């Protein structure tokens, strides 16, 4: 487990070295939720009956769907993206020559992508909460269980 965290930390140090890119990522998330809010408010009367069983608020429904899609997209492309990055930078040979088991190496390689997606999800949830999203927190554990199964299936 220590090796997985070391690989995730190394990836994060690389990502955080590009501070301007991180600022743009956070600001684009915060600014991108506003049009989604405005459109969802315009569509709320038409969508109220469709999302009645999912909490009744179309904006919260869109946020949860967007976060689910982000995690599934990360699960589907994180390993490929990490391998492509390591190949292009010449680091794959160094990683494969270490005495680290392949599953641990793969977990470390995709760990940064998942923590980055989780970081973006928290920012998006906070922005949605500020704009008035009413999430059904009582279903959080069931939702996380289903999301975990989806992530495993797509990974």
pLDDT surpasses 80 at 153: yes
- Segment 83-101 shows an average pLDDT of 81
CA dihedral 103, 141, 66, 11 (to 10 degrees): -30
Q: Under a CB-based contact definition with an 8 Å cutoff, are residues 59 and 41 in contact?
A: yes
| Sequence-separated (6 or more) residues with CB below 8 Å from residue 90 | none
What is the per-residue pLDDT for 70?
94
What is the per-residue pLDDT for 121?
93
pLDDT surpasses 90 at 106: no
pLDDT surpasses 80 at 138: yes
Q: Give the model confidence (pLDDT) of 31-78 as tens digits.
A: 889 999 999 889 888 887 777 777 778 888 899 999 999 999 999 998
- Segment 101-109 shows an average pLDDT of 83
Q: What is the largest CA-CA distance in the chain?
A: 59
How far apart, in whole angstroms, are the C-alpha atoms of residue 85 and residue 80? 9
Q: What is the pTM of this model?
A: 0.81
What is the per-residue pLDDT for 118?
93
């Amino acid at each position: 487990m220590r090796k997985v965290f070391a690989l995730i930390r190394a990836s994060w140090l690389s990502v955080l070295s590009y501070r301007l890119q991180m600022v743009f990522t956070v600001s684009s998330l915060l600014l991108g939720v506003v049009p989604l809010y405005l459109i969802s408010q315009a569509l709320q009367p038409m969508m109220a009956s469709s999302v009645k069983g999912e909490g009744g608020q179309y904006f919260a429904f869109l946020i949860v769907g967007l976060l689910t899609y982000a995690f599934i997209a990360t699960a589907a492309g994180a390993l490929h993206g990490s391998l492509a990055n390591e190949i292009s930078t010449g680091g794959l040979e160094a990683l494969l020559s270490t005495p680290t088991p392949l599953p641990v190496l793969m977990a470390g390689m995709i760990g940064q992508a998942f923590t980055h997606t989780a970081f973006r999800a928290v920012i998006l949830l906070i922005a949605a909460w500020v704009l008035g999203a009413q999430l059904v927190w009582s279903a959080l554990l069931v939702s996380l269980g289903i999301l975990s199964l989806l992530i495993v299936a797509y990974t």
